[in-house]
Amino acid sequence: MILTVTPNPSLDRTYEVPALSRGEVLRATAERMDPGGKGVNVSRAVAAAGRRTVAVLPLGGAPGALVAELLAGQGIEVVPVPVAGATRSNIALAEPDGTLTKINAPGPELTAVEARSLLSMIRTHARSAAWIACCGSLPRGLAPEWYAELVARAHLAGARIALDTSGPSLAAALRERPDVVKPNAEELAQAVGRPLATLGDAVKAAEELRTYGARAVLASLGADGQLLVSDAGTYFGFAAVTAVRSNVGAGDASLAGFLTAGGEGPDALAAAVAHGAAAVRLPGSVMPSPADLDPSAVTVTADVPVDRPLREPAS
């Protein structure tokens, strides 16, 4: 079973528009409503693969009730932690060329009691989890060290931890040695405090995160592919995508693919790349099913082209 933790979930509304024109009335050509948040998306992708997943998340108000209903409808076991504030609602505007404009609400502020309840619920379900995926930003009321405490508690329960966060939360959690961290290019550059212009720069940054405490680093580099750096070696995975419909949740789909494939080694990296490539071809934050995957389009190699420039250098 894969347990996911999403401290700041959301109700996501995505509208497809012909073009984004400031100050104009925009008429959507399509719309979607999905449960959102990084950990939520991981659970959705795991469930789409036919695997059992449990989602622990704080939920409040009518948006929170709808998030729980939508997740249950996708075959996900929901463990809600009731909070007084309403779950946030986010809006995304998707243009035909793949450009996405997002408005993310701040979400509720958790009280000290609610924060302890969330940790307690995670501990209750951790012992039966093969992996715990802790994902996303922290809501108001949770200190940056909250993820570090969660990683420590999960390890005591015997579970492996995949952490997808950034900034002070990531820095604080590294000392507890998460089993894998999953930054994107910008987050990786931020974590080491320098720009990344080539794949070689990204490899060195990932190696540096390992010296800080990460046991493995799965780095999503967008159109430039993905890197896996661990004790087993360094691997580069790539899949060409000709048409991008939406990149919302692509990194989350990648993490789900990585974990469902075992969470280590080149085969897991290949699954991560296949899931990410499939996700960007789907609308909104739709998570790929096995039918959407094209493993034959994925290349994984230990011969990393370190001199290859990143198409969108991270700074």
In the predicted model, what is the mean pLDDT of the chain?
Answer: 95
Q: How far apart are CA 134 and CA 89, in angstroms?
A: 20
Q: How far apart are CA 33 and CA 52, in angstroms?
A: 23
Least confident among 51-65, 195-209, 236-250, 265-279: 236-250
Residue with tokens 């979607």: 32
Say what the pLDDT of residue 94 is. 87
The pLDDT, as a whole number, for residue 247 is 82
Model confidence pLDDT, tens digit, residues 122-159: 999 998 899 999 999 999 999 999 999 999 989 988 99
CA 162 to chain centre: 10
- Dmax over CA atoms of the chain, in Å, equals 54
Q: CA torsion, points 237, 265, 267, 175, in degrees to nearest 10?
A: -70
**pLDDT classification of 306: cutoffs 50, 70, 90:** very high
CA distances from 216 to 25, 37, 62, 179, 228 (A): 47, 23, 39, 6, 7
In terms of C-beta density within 10 A (0-12 exposed, 13-18 middle, 19 or more buried), how is residue 48 classed? buried
Each domain of the chain, given as residue ranges in start order, spans 2-314
Is residue 162 within 8 A of residue 182, CB to CB? The reply is yes
Name the CATH superfamily for 2-314.
Answer: Ribokinase (3.40.1190.20)
pLDDT tens digit sequence for 271-288: 999 999 999 999 878 899
> Rounded to two decimals, what is the model's pTM?
0.93
**pLDDT tens digits for range 82-134:** 999 999 999 989 888 878 899 999 999 999 999 999 999 999 999 889 999 99
Q: Which of 104, 107, 103 is nearest to 20 (CA)?
A: 103
Query: 252 catalytic, yes or no?
Result: yes
Give the pLDDT of residue 166.
96
Which of 300, 301, 297, 259 lies closest to 278, judged by CA? Answer: 297
Measured between alpha carbons, how far is residue 127 from residues 2, 136, 258 in Å?
Answer: 11, 22, 21
Q: Which of 12, 34, 224, 252 is catalytic?
A: 252
Contacts of 289 (CB under 8 A, 6+ apart): 48, 49
* The two structure tokens encoding residue 299: 């290349």
